[in-house]
Every structure is written in structure tokens, then in C-alpha cells.
Chain A
């Protein structure tokens, strides 16, 4: 039954791809989108059935891939990720129905997009090394093509595509080596055989495989320092694609790390997980700093993705560390927190990226400094941005709060530990979580305050009007889920706990208790999101009511030196750059902003300034100090190497002769 549905999902997705390629222009987008939505629906049903029953869905065929065959096995852990991908995929496709521009309606894009969605669904189900790598690579290539659809009109898209192509291939190479290392040493390439055999492998094989796989999956997840492609490619991709990449594709990086680290290798020494925690903490800090200072709405969201992936990795690392030091129950809680954050992040980041794309379509820009006053002009889209942004800032009663609270609890309970690595790692983790939470709140205030409130700063922003219904519906579904999961997290927690126990094989008792309230069994700490929401709502009503009651008949207060609303223009408003400036100043040593002030004077007198131009830029420190030198080194090596093949036929023939002789000598 489930296997049949899995096949149906795949076939429908492929059909959508074919329809996208051959249908006439008018019906192309709706037909392929609806088919993909149906495929996602089937995928979601399979995933939920597997999550509920725990019976794995197996599909195996000897065809498709030569020598190895194509095998899918959907267990509970994979099903969790498949369900997320399916939900995001369906919403992105609904959004796409109303989305125009960015070349997404072209024949190529319409046929590649369903394929990308299907690979997102199937990657978590792959159960052999070959199948996994095949689907992984297909996902990378299709997403790259989709990032590039608009490259003819905007040069920055091509640049983003180059970064993405290089980083994804680098990651794929690391992944290939890591997985093949495991497969050769365990004598089989099916995941179940590797898992059964891995405990007997030599330590260096296990460790080098884990590190390689961490690099490979980390580059896809946007983990620092392999994140540089993400803030370029995610913003430049067309709206639905950027949502899919940021909300579904990065998850698969986390999926891979857990699948290999906990599933195939069955956990490992403490230093693996400390490494994961350190990289996660770095990602969280770096991502949140950049998202707090960025003025490009989608770039800000992309950096926030790096931030949230960092938090997930923090949870995964903490879980592994707990497991390796013998705290089974805490390990499970930390992993559940990380996976819960995967789910919730997908929901709110999907919604936010779709909303941001709506704003971009309505105003023609993503630059916050050119927006403003949009809440009044686009009430639905604006409210959606508020909801998603509050989830991003981890404010109750939205979903981001629940997962971050749980993560905090897990790490706090690791504090009274005699183990030195725990005693050092956990407080640092708590600190990182607190700092990123604060910066995320700042980010949200900036995005909402500058973009939605105040007066429009430019003409296009002033003329903006609400987007088509299907667009706000697509992000609206996800925003509703944000609210729903925030108030009633018990809707997803059992599934997440099952998935976590499935991958770790943990026999530990159910770590979380209660329905409307979440408690950690056997530990202190309790949260009732529903009550919290109710309390908040009542408090807000109370305050508003009290204000109204107090102000009745009182003098209306207004700005002291505002000189009346009418005179205030958009140029007097706070800008996003200005809002982020204090953060930039405080973290100057990390962010290293570049300032460039040019003052030209009148020829007659140096005391009078004719013009002054000021540029401030904030580029990625890793990019400037790591990637650019590496790239120029490679370019130098490339120009050097190009002198060797100089076009002489004889030289090329001599290469052949020398190679032949070397082979003869070596073999003979």
C-alpha cells in the first residue's frame, strides 16, 4: 500500500515534469503545478502513514540504475523529512500559480521544477549509496538550473549560480568519497548492511567517513564556513524555488548528518559531536549577525537560514555528545528539539520566503531601504510577514519558540555534569542560543518595521498592491501552520519523537509528557504553549482595553517635535542600514564593514564641500579572507597550467608517448 503510493508519487512527479516540457505555454504552469501538488499530496500521505504505523515502505527495482538498481526504503525518520518536503512543495506550487516573472514559466523551468520537488521528497527515502547519490546529484543539478533561470537578465544570477555550482559539487565530492569509503569497507552499499557492519569498521574509516560526510552535507545545509553560496543563490532564485531551497533542501543536509552519524555509524566519539556543535554555534552566530545587518530582504532570510541550521546542528551535536557520555534521555530530548526545529523552521522559512517574493513581485525590489508602508497597501501579505517574522524571532505563541525552548531545556539540563566536555559545551551552547535569539528578534523588527510600517520610501513601494490570491494562499497555509504548531505542538511532537527514536534506536522512555503542556519526564521544565498563547492574548487585550479606558476624553498625545504628520517625509525615516548600524558597530571585529567616504571640494575654496558620497558595504568575512584568496590562487594555477598545452600537436603527442612509457615501466 505505502510502496504503491510511493511509486505513484514518483510517477506523478515525472508526469508533471513531462507535462511542463510539452504543454502549450498557456496551460503549462497550472497543469504542471497541479500535478506536482497532487504528487506532493500522495507523498505527504505516504509519509504520514509511515510515521503513524512505523511500517517501512520499500520500493526496489533492478532497472533504472546500472549494476546496483534503485532502492527506496522509507522509515519513520525519512518520512518526517519527506512530509516536510511534501508540505513545502505543495505550498510553493500553490504560490507559483500566481507568480509571474523570473522566467519560471519557461519550458525548461516548468519541467525541471517538478523534478526538483520530487527529488526533495525521495532523497530521505533512498536506502543505498548509489540511489542516494543519484537522487542527491539530481537535486543539486535541478536546483542549480532553477537558480539560473533568470540569468539572461541579471548578471548577479549567473555569479550566484557559479558559487552554488562549485560549492555543491565540492560537497558532493566529499559525500561521494565518504559514503564510498563506508560502502567498500562494509562490503555492501545498502544502508541497512552498512548500519549492521559499521560497528566493526576500523576507527579511522568511521571518523574520516563522518568528517567527509559532515563537509558534504554541511555545504548543502549552509553550515559555516561552507555557507557562502547560500546568501547568493537563495535570494537570486525565483520565489517558489528559494522557498523550496531554504525550507526543504537545507533540511536534507541535517537529515544526512543524522542519518549517517546516528543511523549508519550508530553514534561516535565525543569529538565528532563537539565538532558538529562548534560548527553549529559558528553558523548560528555568523548567520544571525549577518541577517541582523543585511538590508536585502531575501538575503536576510538566507542568512537566517544559516542561523537556524546552526541551531539544528547545535541540537544534533548536543544529542550526540549526550549519547556518547551516557545521557540517553537527554540525547533523545536534544535530537527531538533539533528535529522539531527542522520542522518549524521549514514552516516559517517557507512562508517567509514566499511572502518576501510576493513583496518583491509587488514592488520590484528586495531592498528594505526602498520599501516601507506596505502593511497598509498589502494587508494580507504584510500580516503574513509579521506572523512568519515572529516565528523567526522565536516569539510565543508561534512555533519557533517551542523548538528553541526545548533545545534550551535540553542544554540546560546538561549543565550539572561532571563530564568536562559537557560542562564546557553546554553553557556555550546556551549562550549562543540566547544571543542568536536576540539577534533574530532584531532582524524581525527590522524587516517588519522598515519594510511594512512607516511611509513608502520609493514610488514603486507607494504603488504596490496586493498580490494574487494563490500567492498569499501559498504562504498563508504555512503561516497558519506556524500559529497552529505554536499553540498546539502536540500535533507534531509524537511524530518527531518517533522519528528520533527510529534513527537512534533509542530504547529510552518517552522523553516528553503531556498534551497541551510539554514536560520533560523525569526532569524539571514544563511549557504549556496553549496557555501561554491564551495568557498573551488576554494580556494584550487587557493592556489595549486599559489604554482605551484611560485615554477616553484625554488629550491626544503626538510627537513632540514632529510638527504634524504631514510634514514628515520618507527621507526622515529610519532606514534598514541605520537600524542595523549599532549591531555592525558592536560586532565590527567580526563583520569588518567597509566604509568609503569621498568628499570633493569646490575649486575656489576648500572650506566648501561640493559633494560627498558615502559607501558602506558588508561582505562576508569568510568569503573575503577564505574564498577569494583561494579562488585567485586557483586562477593563478590555471593560467600557469594553460601554458603547458600550447597548441603544438607534437607536444600533445609527446604527452601520449611519455604517458605510455610511464605506464609500461610501472606495469612491466
Chain B
């Protein structure tokens, strides 16, 4: 896969996405995780951009710009502003501690590579070989959703899931249509806003930000 400059650059960008995902699991400071996710958004945008330039597809390039803007700038900005409150800064007591999380991430990556073989083979050549990375990012994001307590960490997990899906989409179909990508990104943006509101409410109701406090609402 090292042949052309296109494939080397693409591999580098995709690799950056995965590295960002693992780093987000590793860091316990929420604010740093948000920054990592921002970097991941930029890397994702670059993936789209590289594909767009390679295929001379103006629509894909436009999509890449939107992805860069929304995932690299707008959402991290919103999250950083939400975390400025101070109480949100650290993931104090995750359900699964950091070393165990890293091991779990490794297992998930292996699982992704094993299970996405079929898709990789179906798509073929360089882009196909990179598809499992997207699946791995998705699984890691899901894992973050399960393992972290703070709403902000959960948002990070949600963004990882979304980035994983977007990556698979870019690699498999040479870019989703512009309109759909726009819709999905706006969806996630809305999700982030809703989660922020939820976090506010949690803080008002329970004085804490542990999502498991919601268990009290169970009958």
C-alpha cells in the first residue's frame, strides 16, 4: 500500500484518526480529550479532502470543508465552552480504569480488523484496506460511551462513533453525498447541544454530573 503518494498520505491521515481515538481513551482530562477529538475531526476532513482531490470530485471537496469546519472547529469549540465550568474537567471515576480501557481498545481494534475483512475485500485496494480503522474507531467510541460517567466524556464517545461511521462511509463509497453528510453532521451537532442541556439539568437537579444518578428515575 506504500506505492503512490496518494495511498501514503491517505494511510497517514486514516492512521491519525485511529491514534486520536486511542488517545481519547488514554487521556483522563476531559478537556484534552476534546482537543484530541478536534484533531481527529481535522484528520477526518483531510481524509475526505485527499479522496476528493484524488478523484477530482468537487462535491467531496466541499464535504471535506464542511467536515473540517464542523468537526474540527465548531463542535470542539462548543464542548470546550461547556467544559469551562470547571467541574467537568476530569473524568474522576470511570467505570473502567484507563489501563483496562486501553486493553479493551486493543481487543476492539483486533475485532474490527477481523470482522471487517469482508467489507475490506469487497471494496478492494488501498481504501478498502483502511475500512477496518473506521469500524475500530466506531467501536472505541461506543466503548467510551459505556465506560465513562461524565456527560462530556459521553459526548466525546458519541463524536468518536460518528467519526468512525463517517470514515467508513468515505472509504467505502468514495464519499457520501454532500447533503447527507451535512444532515448527519447537523444531527450530531444537535445531539451535542441536547447533551449539554442535559448536563446542565443534571447539575441543577443532582448537583453532580454522574449519569447514573438518573437511575433514581427508574420506577
Residues of A within 8 A of B (CB): 646-650, 653-654, 656-657, 660-661, 664-665, 667-668
Contacts and interface: CB of A to CB of B under 8 A. Distances in A.
B146 A646 contact: no
B214 interface: yes
B142 A653 contact: yes
Contact of A668 (B115, B145, B214): B115
Given A657-B142, A660-B142, A668-B115, A650 B135 contact: no
B111 A665 contact: yes
Nearest to B116: A668
A649 B111 contact: no
Interface in B106-130: 111-112, 114-118
B116 A648 contact: no
Contacts of B54: none
Given A664-B111, A665-B111, A668-B115, A649 B142 contact: no
B214 A649 contact: yes
A668 B95 contact: no
A654 B146 contact: yes
B142 A647 contact: no
Given A653-B142, A657-B143, A647 B116 contact: no
A660 B212 CA distance: 22
Nearest to A665: B115
Contacts of B16: none
Nearest to A661: B111
Contact of A646 (B112, B117, B143, B218): B218
B212 A650 contact: yes
Interface string B78-117: 0000000000000000010000000000000001101111
Contacts of B146: 650, 653-654, 657
B135 A664 contact: yes
Contacts of B135: 664
Interface string B166-185: 00000000000000000000
Contacts of B111: 661, 664-665
Contacts of B149: 650
B49 interface: no
Nearest to B96: A650
Given A646-B215, A647-B218, A648-B215, A668 B142 contact: no
22 contacts: A647-B215, A647-B216, A648-B214, A648-B215, A650-B146, A650-B147, A650-B149, A653-B142, A653-B145, A654-B146, A657-B139, A657-B142, A660-B139, A661-B111, A664-B115, A664-B116, A664-B135, A665-B115, A667-B118, A668-B114, A668-B115, A668-B116
A656 B212 contact: no
B188 interface: no
A111 to B, nearest CB: 35
Residue of B114, B115, B135, B146 most packed against chain A (CB within 10 A): B146
B95 A650 contact: yes
A355 B115 CA distance: 70
Contacts of B142: 653, 656-657, 660
Interface string B132-152: 000100010011011101000
Contacts of A668: 114-118
B198 to A, nearest CB: 10
Interface of B: 95, 111-112, 114-118, 135, 139, 142-143, 145-147, 149, 211-212, 214-218
A657 B148 CA distance: 14
B123 to A, nearest CB: 14
Contacts of A661: 111, 139
Given A657-B143, A668-B116, 11 more contacts: A647-B214, A649-B211, A650-B95, A650-B146, A650-B147, A650-B149, A650-B211, A650-B212, A665-B111, A667-B118, A668-B117
A639 B111 CA distance: 35
A654 B145 CA distance: 8
Given A657-B143, A657-B146, A660-B139, A648 B212 contact: yes
Nearest to B112: A664
Nearest to B135: A664
Contacts of B211: 649-650
Contact of A667 (B112, B115, B145, B147): B115
A664 B135 CA distance: 10
A584 B116 CA distance: 70
Nearest to A654: B146
A195 B143 CA distance: 54
A660 B146 CA distance: 13
Contacts of B145: 653, 657
Contacts of A657: 139, 142-143, 145-146
B135 to A, nearest CB: 7
B164 to A, nearest CB: 11
A647 B143 CA distance: 19
Nearest to B145: A653
Contacts of A656: 142
| A-B complex: 9 closest residue pairs judged by Cβ atoms | A647-B218, A668-B115, A664-B115, A647-B215, A653-B146, A654-B146, A657-B142, A649-B211, A653-B145
A130 B143 CA distance: 43
A651 to B, nearest CB: 9
A585 to B, nearest CB: 49
A653 B158 CA distance: 11
B173 to A, nearest CB: 19
Contacts of A648: 212, 214-215
A650 B93 CA distance: 14
A664 B112 CA distance: 8
A665 B117 CA distance: 11
A161 to B, nearest CB: 24
A481 B100 CA distance: 82
A657 B115 CA distance: 15
Nearest to A658: B146
